Amino acid sequence: MATADDGLAAVAYAPSDVTTVVRGGTTVKVAETTDYPFRNRVELTVSPEKAAQFPLLLRVPGWATARSRPAWSISDAPIQTLELIPYAAAKLRVTAFPLIEP
């Protein structure tokens, strides 16, 4: 889903692929892999046609409370600075680069 600030929003978690245009006119493909709600893991693979910066809004599921705080990471690097508000969203500023094939 597009956001008012030319970014993307993940508002429903299910296996899916989307190709869209973000800030600066860059085409981005997002592949979502998950078994949610049966397993509490969602993986988004962001593949832009060229380097791009854009906001990414992630819906925070109701089970994500202070006691069951989810782990957030980008390329397996933990993110410690997200404020988590149940039934709301977390907003990231994403800088994505195209995959370089060997």
Taking only the tens place, the pLDDT of each residue in 9-25 is 888 889 999 999 998 89
User: Domain ranges in the chain?
Assistant: 8-96
The structure tokens 């933990």 sit at: 78
Burial class (CB in 10 A: 0-12, 13-18, 19+), 23: middle
For residue 40, the cross-strand partners are none
Taking only the tens place, the pLDDT of each residue in 38-97 is 887 888 888 889 988 888 888 877 666 555 666 677 767 776 656 555 556 676 667 777
Model pTM score: 0.74
**pLDDT at 100 (0 to 100):** 63
Residue 26 in tokens: 């860059």
